[in-house]
Structure 1
């Protein structure tokens, strides 16, 4: 792991963890970013004004933990306790970059890794049909070892239901499987030890040839656990009604593979999608007067989009693109139509096996509607994922992403500075997950390693070798 760098420019006032950062490209629309989302973020992660120190002509200084504790004991904020923003101000400076400690290692590429909503469980999905659920509170013990059914190529996505009773997993197939992970059995072999119910995402207007060619790249539960939303290789978005056990909606959403889709907030009305056609789109299920008509389009990426994560407020989201950038979006800036632009992308570039052309790195979309652009990581070979940091512990003041160079990158949401990077893996880090409550991040890589990064970390030395008892036989 390389330590965060300090170039002595943007962070001289200590307003980033440990005072470490590097300059990154920022959105040209910086005033908008400073005056809008910066205020939202600061309200979530800034200390109470009575605890803030300000030197005339200088920016506010970072309030130390000791000062925060003294202020709490002195009841400076009038509440007799930390506010949630006070807590975020303390916790968010301690980035989970110590380690790594190995959680597991299989001789199979790791594609998916996610904490449950409460952080008690962790799900990891591997290419050769294995999905493992670890009990975080019991020393990362394997609670459920699942052997998936009828995979095509790999597990593309997997996730727990909000009540943590069911798990869905997808592959390059129109059938998404769901399994009861709340059962007592620790081993779940599809339709042998337990039933893995197949959910058919095909619809009546498909012919057999189309049906066979569908692959699901992303599948997510709604907040109430009653629906699934999926992104498909047939340029479509699907919504599946789990109670009716059938697709309730198909949207022919893009002109190329839809790699990612998610619910925008808890209501389930809005959806965000991203595609290889390099567009992000917003869909409002309440006003589908014209079938398949997007509520709005957001342009700015020059290549296909690999992943989208919503801030959860129905307004902001981030996206990873094959143009080697992460972008921040506000749906209030979306357009009803895609503005005409000349062909900007390199027609010969294939991210699966090529490096991104050097000359293309300086190209900017003439109609870029994003609020900010973050650079430093690599989005090559696979659909690299990116996320907002947890609201509880950081106030979502960071975004973090995997990288095809085997590392994890953390950026300050508002300044755009890269505040930390963790280097360990020998292959792309496709997925990563920040614990919702504690300073812990887990990375999953194509080298088969699931690695844990913490602050401050346990007393044990970081494990560089996988536990033997967890190695598979293949």
Structure 2
């Protein structure tokens, strides 16, 4: 992680202009611009000639990935995209070479995993009611070992508060629990060694709370609210100060598997459902319209996870159609269009392979900016995240927790 962080620091310095590139600024070896990860991969690749000849301050320097991305955005090469050599050059700097390595082993399956915003902590939720918080900077030492309360089958989601003082976790239950992770004790046994407050998301709109479950929960950027997706097709916003549900949005006709705030303002919410749609909700307009601000169509199966870039424009989603998609909400429309599927059976991701004949299908009204394939969304609802760290961590349906 330290090598990755160094590489990111180099790119950030270059983008902010803090490094001077004259006779003064060239005191460092020019190779430092292309950080240590490039040397570790031992891949011999170079960018195309247009980018390779780029100069800074009259000095011919190695081309950093940051400048390559900027050049692609401005169409410097005239192609409007990376060439094959460009791709190899970028990959040579960011391909993991050590791993995957086993971080921990539990007796039950790992279903949830996520880094904190600054990358210093890593949260993993296991089917056997355990949630472990690892301190990445201290060699993945277990900082908090939480035995969750009233878990029904598995932990379905977790979220750290922005100040990293609290953790909320959900199960297939109408209650979301919140625990203080800053306490001195390493082991947190629900309502035995520490109190895990229960936040009740049931409301007058839920006729049968026994069948009501929270699948997804996220803190707002200011830490004052939670947004949750539920089995009744609704989005809930929980006011932590008032200790009650402040808003219920009838969002989808089936399960809402994933929700998140679009940016720090908290006004806009993204949701993904088993109805195949990603939807955008603007809380400022709901009182007058009661409708989604827009719908984004492109996935062929249910949505398993959504993560916002935090800029109020872009987000990524993972789907049971074995693809991850990048979206720009400026492309959204008011109505989503379905894509009828002709199958002789009901496909179930939990125990069946995805049909080979469907892997290359494309939605005729796909509004996504980009589609990424090559992974499998099977056995559990695989997640996807934007990250400040050039690293990949995955939750797998085994007792092992692994990271590259």
How high is the TM-score relative to the length of structure 2? 0.78
Q: Distance in 1 between matches of 2:265 and 2:150?
A: 33
Alignment partner, residue 303 of structure 2: 305
Shift of 1:225: 0.5
DSSP-derived class of the 1:354 partner? coil
Shift of 1:227: 0.6
Alignment partner, residue 443 of structure 1: 394
Residues 101 and 75 from structure 1, CA distance in 2 versus in 1: closer, same or farther, beyond 3 angstroms?
A: farther
Matches within 5 A, 1:364-443: 364-390=362-388, 436=389, 439-443=390-394
Picking from 203, 228, 231, the partner of 2:229 is 231
Alignment partner, residue 328 of structure 1: 326
Which string of whole-angstrom CA distances, capped at 9 and with x for unpartnered residues, describes residues 91-121 of structure 1?
Answer: 9823334222321100111011112122222
Alignment partner, residue 82 of structure 2: none
Alignment partner, residue 190 of structure 2: 190
Picking from 60, 69, 76, the partner of 2:51 is 60
Q: Distance in 1 between matches of 2:111 and 2:291?
A: 32
Picking from 348, 355, 361, the partner of 1:363 is 361
Q: Distance in 2 between matches of 1:300 and 1:289?
A: 28
DSSP-derived class of the 1:259 partner? strand
Q: Distance in 2 between matches of 1:325 and 1:375?
A: 5
The answer as to whether partners of 1:166 and 1:179 remain within 8 angstroms in 2 is yes
DSSP-derived class of the 1:283 partner? strand
Residues 324 and 62 from structure 1, CA distance in 2 versus in 1: closer, same or farther, beyond 3 angstroms?
A: farther
Matches within 5 A, 1:182-261: 182-207=182-207, 209=208, 211-261=209-259
Alignment partner, residue 98 of structure 2: 98
Q: Distance in 1 between matches of 2:113 and 2:132?
A: 9
DSSP-derived class of the 2:287 partner? coil
Matched, 1:316 2:314: yes
Residues 84 and 75 from structure 1, CA distance in 2 versus in 1: closer, same or farther, beyond 3 angstroms?
A: farther
Alignment partner, residue 35 of structure 1: none
Matched, 1:343 2:334: no
Matched, 1:139 2:139: yes
Q: Distance in 1 between matches of 2:248 and 2:226?
A: 12
The answer as to whether partners of 2:111 and 2:380 remain within 8 angstroms in 1 is no
DSSP-derived class of the 1:348 partner? coil
How high is the TM-score relative to the length of structure 1? 0.67
Residues 389 and 120 from structure 1, CA distance in 2 versus in 1: closer, same or farther, beyond 3 angstroms?
A: closer
The answer as to whether partners of 1:344 and 1:365 remain within 8 angstroms in 2 is no
Matched, 1:175 2:175: yes
Q: Distance in 2 between matches of 1:239 and 1:48?
A: 47
- Which deviates the most, 105-114 or 379-388? 379-388
Structure 1: gaps (5+ residues): 1-42, 391-435, 454-474
Shift of 1:440: 4.3
RMSD of Structure 2 on Structure 1 (CA): 3.3
DSSP-derived class of the 1:133 partner? strand
The answer as to whether partners of 1:303 and 1:345 remain within 8 angstroms in 2 is no
Residues 76 and 265 from structure 1, CA distance in 2 versus in 1: closer, same or farther, beyond 3 angstroms?
A: farther
Q: Distance in 2 between matches of 1:276 and 1:49?
A: 52
Q: Distance in 2 between matches of 1:62 and 1:234?
A: 57
Q: Distance in 2 between matches of 1:383 and 1:233?
A: 15
